[in-house]
Amino acid sequence: MNCILAFLLLTGDQTKENNRLATMPLSGHQDYYRMYAPNEMRHFRGVEAGSDVILAKSQIRGPGTHMAVYCSPSKSLRYIAEYISKGADHLDELSAYGFHQDLSQETKCLEHIEAEFRNSPVTTDIPIRKFSEKIECSKSTIYSLAFQNHFCIQNNVDEILTPFNPHRRRIAIEFFFRMPHVVLNGKLILQTEANGLQTAMAWYQGYLNIFQKKKSLHTWYPVKRSLQDTEDFDYIIDYIAESFIELRSIKSLLTQGGNTISPTLIDALRLREDHHVNKELYIKQQLGILRQKNLRLPESIAEGLIGPFVK
């Protein structure tokens, strides 16, 4: 049995260039952890007649981050990924595509910044306030351009806030950026709290990432330090599985090996069968339970600051 977790981000008609489709194999196979531009896709693809693909998917009725799980007892991960993403375009180096504003805004802002660099000594950091009167240069745009390796951003205590490149010029900011300026639509997703620690996901520089902060503090820190590290996505699945036990069960079965579930694992999953259970049947049961749940991930307003992004 192979299974892929999928997310479809819909941001509304006015910002559809920011829409995303993400795929994450539940077996941990990094080759099919991918991001796509979904183009005209507004719903998850359903099951075709005669196919053995089975799924649980969000009933999409508007913008938001929606979740689905696709499984097949006979098809490869490649087949399932291609099945999910039919009509979508695979994206690499997402920061080059823009995801908070129109690409023309980024282009015009970069022209202003490069002109300022040309007219100043190479050792001089340019204060971000120099661009405050440029309508194209929102803080979100400047932050995005830094992730595209055009320059670095440094605060007044010499912390580099964006990926570091020693050969790039620097823009100076007084402290930290505000979270609403750097996460898509100023929203956090699936926010939780435990033991005084707050955790949430967000669409950040084109990817899903997880952020954490102490409840008593105001600064969020990104958990994932290398956005394009395709071997590092399990932490996202594990975080979501804390809210969807069925997802955790499916992932556990897929990584266990073999075609049956041992009684001890069944007990751990609060089942009472005394015999070995077929994995395929059990996963179908878990998908059936998931279908009854709201698979649109809850959102909340992002508040506070974002700490340095350190690779």
Determine the pLDDT at residue 310: 66
Both tokens of residue 61? 């009725």
Reply yes or no on whether the pLDDT at 210 is more than 80.
yes
Reply yes or no on whether the pLDDT at 292 is more than 90.
yes
Determine the pLDDT at residue 265: 52
Residue 31's nearest CA partner among 71, 51, 67, 2 is 2
- The larger pLDDT score, comparing residue 181 to residue 69, is at 69
Reply yes or no on whether the pLDDT at 291 is more than 50.
yes
The overall average pLDDT reported for the chain is 86
Instruction: Please answer whether residues 189 and 82 qualify as being in contact, where contact means their C-beta atoms are separated by less than 8 angstroms.
Output: no
Residue 70 to residue 77: CA distance in whole angstroms: 10
Looking at 111-120, 142-151, 192-201, which range is the least confident one? 142-151
Cα first-last separation, the chain: 35
Neighbouring-strand partners of residue 5: 24, 69
pLDDT tens by residue, 126-141: 999 999 889 889 998 9
